[in-house]
Amino acid sequence: MNKNNSSQISLQEKYDYLKTEFKQVLKGKIVKSSEFFDEEINDIIERKDSKENIFFLKRLIDSVGDAVIATDKDGRIIYWNRSAEKLYKWKAEKVIGKNIVDVTPTKTSKKQADELIKTLINGDTWQGEFEVQDKNGRIFPIHVTDSPVLDENNELAGVIGVSKDISEYKELVNELLMKEIRFRELIYTINSGIVIYEVKNEGLTGEDYIIVEFNQYALQHERKNKDEVIGKSLKDIRPNIDDFGLIDVFRKVWKTGQAEFIPAKQYVDKNFSNYYENRVFKLPGGEIVAVYDDVTVQKKVELELRTSEKRFRTITEDSPDAIFITDLNGHFRYINNSAYTMLGYAQSKLKGKNFIEIIPPEKHEMMQGLFQKALNNEHIFTETELVKKNGNVIPVDLNAMKLPNDKIYGSCRDITERKKAEKKIIQQNKEYESINEELLQMNNELKTAKNKAEESDRLKSAFLTNMSHEIRTPMNGIMGFTELLKNPGIKGPQQKKFIDIIQKSGARMLDTINNLISISKIESGETEINYSQVNIKEIMQDNVLFFKPEAEKKGIQLKLNSQPEGILIIKTDRDKLQSVLTNLTKNAIKYSKKGTIKTGCYLNNNSIRFFVQDEGIGIPKDRQKAIFKRFVQADIEDRKAFEGSGLGLAICKSYVDMLGGEIWLKSEVNAGSTFIFTVPFQV
Ligand code: ADP
């Protein structure tokens, strides 16, 4: 074998060779030439000089980088090369003859030691690792190849051990191991699915992808144990993976070595309907790695958003309302079709304009104010107007608000028709109001008429009751006493008394009939005023004079209390004035049991004020107005005690009215009454 060849021989092969040679040396044989050594060396060997030969071999073994130690069957060291000296720090001369166990104490387990000895006795080579201690006490790991040396009886004669320090290698391995552990930890705990595939048919088509690694996230996502996935094809786990297109990408990555990203895509089978994002790359060892994320939720949200955005757009476009979106300065950014139609502009003619340009000038200030409010996140609802391209103005309901994306949204509803309807309603309302007023008026009139009818009905009953009483009572008197007078036995004072009663009854009836005539004349408007020059003082005096006897008969004083100075003549109706005075004086006497009745008159501004004051029974407050009505009496219960038709005060009031004056009273029950009336002072 030439030089070049020998340099290509592996170290192991050299050891194996040396092992054979050494066996020969131990047996005292001359070692034969070997094809592993170069020709020069061969020459030396060829010279068959065994000393030289041995020396050569020693040198050769010394030159080996690994420690080579030979022991006899008892473990006594018979050879210790240079590298052994270097490794174990013992010089050869110090260890030759000593037991290997004492020189290089080792840390082997019993099991390992037994296995070693068994292997060597069997004539086999043992390889293994254990820790050993050098001369300086350093303990370090070594890799050992122990080969047995057998004698002619195939008995173990000795051992050749080749050992080398593997502490650096161990450190390296540990470091790599740590890196691997960290890397695995990362893969396992990461929140994405990581799957490593071995490519089946690598070098051909990259056809199938067999799972060799499946991280925790992926296991959870697939709802599988590691055993169920490792060694399986991707197709076993995801039957529809071809439709998803991942295999194609794997092939591409496998072929080009370039990493690929597959954006969110849907995978569907009977178990899954999810969206995944995949990153695929190739490891230096040829495996394919897929890192994937389930983005179903994001994708669905995105789809929903897109759908709702589309829906919104459709609604906006199709909305009959004009919809505008402006920026924060009020410049149009979006205008829907209805807006163009409503305002009469051609498409896109409003884009970029400011909203204020479609507002009538008189509303600018208000609308700018509202725009500011919308900017401050206030929701605006208002009625306003928009100006069409042709200058016409449309009334609209405006609804505006700020959008989250710093835009202002406004929708305008044309309310022309509503406004018209409102106007119509207002007009109609007015009409109804006036009809209502008319109806109310009619109602009032009807009420008055009804009241009047009721009143006249009541008056009619009152009249009938009063009249039957007021006529029957004196009539009974007249009839009764005239019957008595027929008796010839009735004479003298008794006869006079009966005639008096008949006269009084006649007078009372005459009074009633007079009153009736007066009131019916008043009612029918037949009463006339006959003006003449009337001496007031004379009338007053006559009145007192006339009633004095009647009053005194009841023990009441009747006085003319006060009168203006001098002669007082005015232009008035004498009979009516007299009638009023008579009535009031008669009542004063009638409704008094004692005390004084004062009468009088005095000038007050442009009228003469007459009064008749008594200290009689008085009139309750709630009856003071009613007594001026026909047939009404103050106290219905007591009426019989006083006799009367209830017509006197009604006649008085009518007469005073006719004369152009007023009549009223002041009265307190049981204290007395004062009737006052005026007549104009005219001459
Ligand atoms: P009558 O014929 O019943 O007196 P009048 O019209 O004169 O009718 O009076 C109406 C009623 O007013 C009387 O029935 C009586 O109740 C009350 N009245 C009138 N004058 C007086 C008075 N001076 N004092 C108390 N009550 C009076």
User: pLDDT tens across 28-51, in order?
Assistant: 443 333 344 444 445 544 554 556
Mean pLDDT for 203-220 is 80
Residue 600 has pLDDT above 60, yes or no: yes
Mean pLDDT for 343-356 is 89
End-to-end CA distance of the chain: give it in Å, rounded: 182
pTM as predicted: 0.41
Residue 582 has pLDDT above 70, yes or no: yes
Q: At a CB cut-off of 8 Å and minimum separation 6, what does 266 contact? A: 244, 273, 274, 275, 299
Could you tell me the distance, in angstroms and rounded to a whole number, from the CA of residue 677 to the centre of ligand 1?
A: 16
More confident residue, 186 or 327: 327
Mean pLDDT for 138-143 is 93
Let me know if the fold of 298-414 is the same as that of 528-680.
no
Residue 634 CA: which ligand 1 atom is closest?
16
| 528-680: CATH class | alpha beta
Q: Give the highest mean pLDDT range of 55-59, 269-273, 585-589, 623-627.
A: 585-589
Residue 25 has pLDDT above 50, yes or no: no
Instruction: Identify the CATH number of the domain defined by range 3-165.
Output: 3.30.450.20
Mean pLDDT for 127-136 is 92
Q: Which of 319-333, 376-390, 624-638 is the least confident region?
A: 624-638
Report whether residue 25 contacts ligand 1, using a CB cutoff of 6 Å: no
Residues counted in the chain: 683
| 298-414: CATH class | alpha beta
Percent of the chain with pLDDT over 90: 54
pLDDT band of 373, cuts 50, 70, 90: very high
Instruction: Out of 514, 611, 619, give the residue to mutate to test ligand 1, the one with the largest number of ligand atoms within 8 Å of its CB.
Output: 619
Ligand 1 atom 16 nearest Cα: 634
More confident residue, 636 or 473: 473
- Sign of the Cα pseudo-torsion (602, 604, 610, 615, in order): negative
Dist. CA 326–CA 315, nearest whole Å? 18
pLDDT band of 63, cuts 50, 70, 90: confident
At residue 203, the pLDDT reads 47
At residue 5, the pLDDT reads 43
Residue 3 has pLDDT above 80, yes or no: no
DSSP string spanning 637-653? TTHHHH---S-HHHHHH
Instruction: Out of 519, 590, 621, give the residue to mutate to test ligand 1, the one with the largest number of ligand atoms within 8 Å of its CB.
Output: 590
Residue 6 has pLDDT above 90, yes or no: no
At residue 10, the pLDDT reads 53
Model confidence over 322-331: pLDDT tens digits? 999 999 999 9
Dist. CA 146–CA 124, nearest whole Å? 9
Return the CATH fold of 171-294. Answer: Beta-Lactamase (3.30.450)
Residue 69 has pLDDT above 70, yes or no: yes
Structure tokens at 350: 């409003």
Ligand 1 atom 8 nearest Cα: 646
At residue 469, the pLDDT reads 80
pLDDT band of 416, cuts 50, 70, 90: very high
Mean pLDDT value across the chain: 86
Mean pLDDT for 208-231 is 90
pLDDT band of 564, cuts 50, 70, 90: confident
At residue 30, the pLDDT reads 39
Residue 182 has pLDDT above 50, yes or no: yes
Q: At a CB cut-off of 8 Å and minimum separation 6, what does 433 contact? A: none
Q: What's the Cα-to-Cα distance from 390 to each of 52, 347, 396, rounded to whole Å?
A: 126, 15, 17
Domain parsing of the chain, residue ranges: 3-165, 171-294, 298-414, 420-503, 528-680
Instruction: Out of 627, 629, 636, 652, give the residue to mutate to test ligand 1, the one with the largest number of ligand atoms within 8 Å of its CB.
Output: 627
Which secondary structure element, helix H or strand E, spans residue 558, and what is its range? strand 557-562
Among 561, 583, 574, 526, smallest CA distance to 679 is for: 574
Largest CA distance in the chain: 223
Dist. CA 412–CA 682, nearest whole Å? 78
At residue 16, the pLDDT reads 59
Contact between 166 and 141 (Cβ < 8 Å): yes
Report whether residue 663 contacts ligand 1, using a CB cutoff of 6 Å: no
Name the 3-class secondary structure at 124. coil
At residue 51, the pLDDT reads 61
Dist. CA 589–CA 595, nearest whole Å? 10
Ligand 1 atom 13 nearest Cα: 633
Report whether residue 591 contacts ligand 1, using a CB cutoff of 6 Å: yes
Residue 310 has pLDDT above 80, yes or no: yes
At residue 123, the pLDDT reads 87
Residue 507 has pLDDT above 50, yes or no: yes
At residue 344, the pLDDT reads 92
Q: Which of 138-147, 191-200, 312-321, 350-359 is the least confident region?
A: 312-321
Mean pLDDT for 184-212 is 80
Report whether residue 213 contacts ligand 1, using a CB cutoff of 6 Å: no
